[in-house]
């Protein structure tokens, strides 16, 4: 049994990941400007790469790792750094299990529904908030 409860590991890792994401976004804005979301792109790609590396390591190479360590690194740090990494892993798992149709449908639905959610939220605030 792990000495640290999983939710505490996620909490601690999430704070570190979010602070790291903020640092990357600030650095990208300072270095490259704010015309394009370079920081977010970098975070999403590197977070997804890290998620793949960690998931592969935990699945195939690290028989002795604890669930707490896995939660700290994946759900915690990478979850705070970028939730896109979890999305990417979910899609990859569907693909690896031979469900290419579900993987592609999940990706399309996730992107389109998430964009729709953002636009719906923006529209709602515009409608409810007097100019």
- Annotated binding residues for Na(+): 79, 82
Using left for φ > 0, alpha for ψ between -120 and 50, and beta otherwise, residue 33 falls in: left
User: Which residues participate in the annotated binding site?
Assistant: 79, 82
- Residue pair 13/76 in contact (Cβ under 8 Å)? The answer is yes
CA distance 102 to 109: 10
């Amino acid at each position: 049994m792990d000495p640290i409860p999983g939710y505490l590991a996620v909490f601690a890792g999430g704070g570190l990941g979010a602070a790291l994401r903020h640092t990357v976004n600030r650095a990208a804005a300072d270095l490259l400007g704010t015309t394009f979301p370079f920081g977010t792109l970098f975070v999403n790609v590197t977070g997804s790469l890290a998620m793949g590396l960690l998931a592969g390591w935990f699945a195939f190479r690290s028989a002795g790792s604890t669930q707490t360590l896995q939660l700290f690194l994946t759900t915690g740090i990478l979850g705070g750094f970028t939730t896109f990494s979890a999305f990417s892993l979910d899609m990859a798992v569907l693909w690896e299990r031979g469900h290419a149709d579900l993987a592609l449908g999940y990706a399309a639905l996730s992107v389109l529904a998430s964009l729709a959610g953002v636009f719906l939220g923006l529209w709602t605030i515009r409608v409810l908030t007097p100019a």
